[in-house]
Amino acid sequence: MFSLSGYAQSNPALKAELERIMESDQVPRNEYVAALRAQHRDSVLIDRLVKTILHNDSVNTVRVTEILDTHGFPTLAEVGDINIAVWAVIQHSDIALIDKYMPQFLDAAKNGDLPKRYVATMYDRCEVWHGRPQKYGTQGTMDENGAFVPSDLLDPARVDEWRAEMGLPPLEEYIRQMNRK
């Protein structure tokens, strides 16, 4: 990730709010993944984490859409790299919201306010959800052995070229990384 932590951001209140949103988005998700990786059989814990994730997503989505609708995508100069919280919340929302706000994310990446790799992930998610082949190979499923397998690709011969343009490693390296987790 990138950081402007050494520079004053022009909207400290929004920055603090986005820090809280990011924490409420990521902490229960990380706990959920850890519980699954540990093959935790405590269904009460899993159920509690899922309910927390869904509740937080609902609350965060309302606020983040308000920010995007009234303010636009927060820039690095305004809030620093915590602007990624806006991307994370929309990435975890439904396809209609991703479609609606994709132009703002594309502009943010073009302006250097959001790493292109995040837009590539969001773009692929949209394509897969719409039943179309993905461009960058960021979305996939697990096979019967638990190995990551990318969903259908738009053009396998060009996928690494497109990935490089978005700051992503070659697809084979990404697959290896996903399967080490």
Give the global pTM.
0.84
Which class for 105: exposed (0-12), middle (13-18), buried (19 or more C-beta within 10 A)? Answer: buried
The distance in angstroms from the start CA to the end CA of the chain is 19
Sign of CA dihedral 7, 8, 9, 10: negative
Sign of CA dihedral 42, 44, 47, 52: negative
Q: Where are the beta strands (DSSP E) in 14-172?
A: 140-142, 148-150
CA 2 to each of CA 47, 114, 167, 173: distance values in angstroms, whole numbers, following the listed order: 34, 9, 13, 22
Give the per-residue pLDDT at 147. 84
For the stretch 3-52, pLDDT in tens is 445 456 899 999 999 999 999 999 999 998 888 777 766 788 889 999 99
Question: What DSSP designation does 148 have?
Answer: E
Delimit the domains of the chain by residue range.
8-93, 115-181
For the stretch 92-143, pLDDT in tens is 999 999 999 999 999 999 999 999 999 999 999 999 999 999 999 999 998 8
For the stretch 166-176, pLDDT in tens is 999 999 999 99
Please say whether the beta carbons of 3 and 38 come within 8 A: no
